[in-house]
């Protein structure tokens, strides 16, 4: 059996390992936290730092292939492993582009992939010279994560809030919709696209409220998005699974926002709503099987289950029992012992070909399920 390792042990690794149990494969996880969501589901767990060269190299050197469930890994170790003949999904060269926002923006420009206008700034003085480019968003090229390393710069008075290191200054664009597409690329170069999903935001909280599949966009926008997402992935020349997040402007233009070279939150609905899930698909790619079918079985809505504000500690899922009565809702609780405000603790996918049914049930779940800590 092939030996395949995953860097990171979070919920993406957890769902990847649930899918792995359908295939003949021996699985390995490298992760610092032995109680992380994926730690117990692999054949062999290694405690270690995915950002440390030695930890990653030693983990990978006896495996056949390696993938990631988070980008923030030691790329140098993966490059050395690749030179030694290991197959890495995605290629380390892809991680170098994706993990650096400046490199990622330049990649889009180089390949004529539409993206919001930007300039690179190397320090605060650079930023100060860009007052005509404002309002804009300042994004640290490296090391930003989960909202950190991002700063809105509306006018001159905000410049002091900017970053004094290589950053991307991105022009604010008008956004009519945010959509995403998952794309699978086989080792043989074959490509399969999942239908686009639409992110619906809760504007009061500035949080993803839920995600609909398929996205409600015109055919014209759909084809444009498909072509742009394909170009974004094809030019990476790497097997793996990719999420391409895009903005649709009020004029119907499509701009790439960002990409992830791995299984992704915007593909969770594929577990129940599509013939081959994003997780199944990545195993097919890594085991060099044919790509799976990206066809939907039903339309779907995916909603994250997030730690409630004001609660930190041992997680308790208030209302879960009542919500489990909903017939066409599939709950995924990630088994994290501790909740924190905003922490992703699970998700639910509702399947139905009636949009009203999807929205009604998502709303019920939103108002009746909350992740709190026990008093």
Where does this chain bind its own copies (CB under 8 A)? 1, 14-15, 17-18, 21-25, 27, 40-43, 275, 284, 288-290, 292-293, 295, 297-298, 315, 317, 320-322, 324-325, 327-328, 330-333, 335, 337, 351
H or E stretch at 302 = strand 300-306
Q: Is 257 annotated as a binding residue?
A: yes
| Closest distance to its own copies from the beta carbon of 157 (Å) | 47
| Closest distance to its own copies from the beta carbon of 318 (Å) | 13
Q: Is 321 annotated as a binding residue?
A: no
Nearest CB to its own copies, comparing residues 163 and 317: 317
Ramachandran bin of 288, using left for φ above 0, alpha for ψ from -120 to 50, beta for the remaining angles: left
Q: Answer for the pair 231, 111: CB distance below 8 angstroms, yes or no.
A: yes
Nearest CB to its own copies, comparing residues 37 and 92: 37
Q: Which residues pair with 137 in a beta bridge?
A: 152, 170
| Closest distance to its own copies from the beta carbon of 246 (Å) | 27
Which pairing describes strands 344-351 and 329-333: parallel, antiparallel, or unpaired?
antiparallel
Render 305-352 in DSSP notation, one character per residue: EEBPTT--EEEEEETHHHHTT-TTEEEEE---SEE-TT-EEEEEEEE-
Specify the 3-state DSSP secondary structure of 6: strand
Q: State the Cα–Cα distance between residues 166 and 99, nearest whole angstrom.
A: 13
| Closest distance to its own copies from the beta carbon of 269 (Å) | 14
Sign of CA dihedral 241, 271, 347, 300: positive
| Closest distance to its own copies from the beta carbon of 347 (Å) | 10
From residue 237, give the alpha-carbon distance in Å to each of 46, 111, 189, 372.
30, 13, 8, 44
Q: State the Cα–Cα distance between residues 34 and 291, nearest whole angstrom.
A: 32
Q: Answer for the pair 255, 114: CB distance below 8 angstroms, yes or no.
A: yes
Nearest CB to its own copies, comparing residues 25 and 365: 25
Q: State the Cα–Cα distance between residues 175 and 183, nearest whole angstrom.
A: 23
| Closest distance to its own copies from the beta carbon of 5 (Å) | 14
Place of tokens 């991002």: 150
| Closest distance to its own copies from the beta carbon of 236 (Å) | 25
Q: State the Cα–Cα distance between residues 277 and 241, nearest whole angstrom.
A: 11
Q: Is 304 annotated as a binding residue?
A: no
Q: Is 170 annotated as a binding residue?
A: yes
Structure tokens at 37: 């969501």
Nearest CB to its own copies, comparing residues 151 and 278: 278
Q: Is 374 annotated as a binding residue?
A: no
Nearest CB to its own copies, comparing residues 239 and 292: 292
Nearest CB to its own copies, comparing residues 66 and 285: 285
Residue 211 CB neighbours (<10 A): 26
Q: Is 340 annotated as a binding residue?
A: no
Structure tokens at 366: 């939103």
Q: Is 325 annotated as a binding residue?
A: no
| Closest distance to its own copies from the beta carbon of 267 (Å) | 17
Q: For residue 94, how far is the Cα from the chain centroid?
A: 15
Q: Is 336 annotated as a binding residue?
A: no
Nearest CB to its own copies, comparing residues 2 and 257: 2
Q: Answer for the pair 350, 369: CB distance below 8 angstroms, yes or no.
A: no
Structure tokens at 102: 């400046």
Nearest CB to its own copies, comparing residues 47 and 111: 47
Nearest CB to its own copies, comparing residues 154 and 288: 288
| Closest distance to its own copies from the beta carbon of 354 (Å) | 15
Q: Which residues are annotated as a binding site for ATP?
A: 101, 139, 170-173, 178, 257-258
Q: Which residues are annotated as a binding site?
A: 101, 139, 170-173, 178, 257-258
């Amino acid at each position: 059996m092939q030996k395949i390792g995953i860097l990171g042990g979070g919920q993406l690794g957890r769902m990847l390992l649930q899918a792995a149990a359908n295939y003949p494969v021996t699985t390995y996880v490298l992760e610092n936290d032995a109680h992380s969501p994926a730690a117990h589901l692999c054949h062999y767990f290694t405690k270690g730092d995915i950002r440390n060269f030695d930890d990653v190299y030693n983990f990978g050197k006896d495996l056949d292939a390696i993938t990631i469930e988070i980008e923030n890994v030691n790329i140098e170790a993966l490059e050395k492993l690749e030179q030694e003949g290991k197959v890495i999904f995605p290629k380390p060269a892809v991680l170098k582009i994706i993990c650096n926002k400046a490199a990622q923006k330049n990649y889009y420009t180089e390949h004529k992939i539409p993206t919001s206008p930007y300039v690179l700034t190397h320090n605060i003085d650079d930023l100060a010279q860009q007052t005509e480019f404002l309002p804009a968003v300042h994004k640290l090229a490296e090391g930003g994560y989960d909202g950190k390393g991002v700063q809105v710069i509306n006018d001159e008075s905000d410049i002091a809030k900017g970053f004094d290191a290589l950053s991307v200054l991105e022009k604010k664009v008008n956004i009519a919709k945010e959509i995403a597409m998952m794309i699978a690329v086989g080792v043989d170069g074959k490509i399969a696209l999942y239908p686009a999903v639409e992110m619906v935001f809760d504007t009061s909280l500035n949080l993803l409220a839920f995600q609909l599949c398929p996205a409600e966009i015109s055919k014209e926008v759909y084809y444009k998005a498909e072509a742009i997402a394909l170009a974004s992935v094809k030019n990476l020349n790497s097997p793996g699974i990719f999420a391409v997040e895009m903005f649709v402007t009020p004029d119907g233009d499509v701009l790439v926002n960002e990409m992830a070279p791995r299984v992704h939150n915007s593909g969770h609905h594929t577990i129940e709503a599509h013939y081959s899930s994003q997780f199944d698909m990545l195993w097919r790619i890594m085991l060099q099987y044919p790509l799976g079918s990206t066809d939907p079985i039903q339309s779907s809505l995916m909603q994250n289950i997030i730690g409630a504000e004001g609660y930190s500690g041992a997680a308790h899922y208030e209302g879960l029992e009542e919500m489990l009565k909903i017939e066409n809702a599939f709950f995924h609780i990630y088994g994290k012992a501790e909740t924190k405000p905003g922490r992703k603790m699970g998700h639910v996918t509702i399947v139905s070909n009636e949009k009203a049914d999807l929205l009604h049930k998502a709303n019920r779940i939103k108002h009746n399920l909350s992740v709190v800590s026990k008093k």
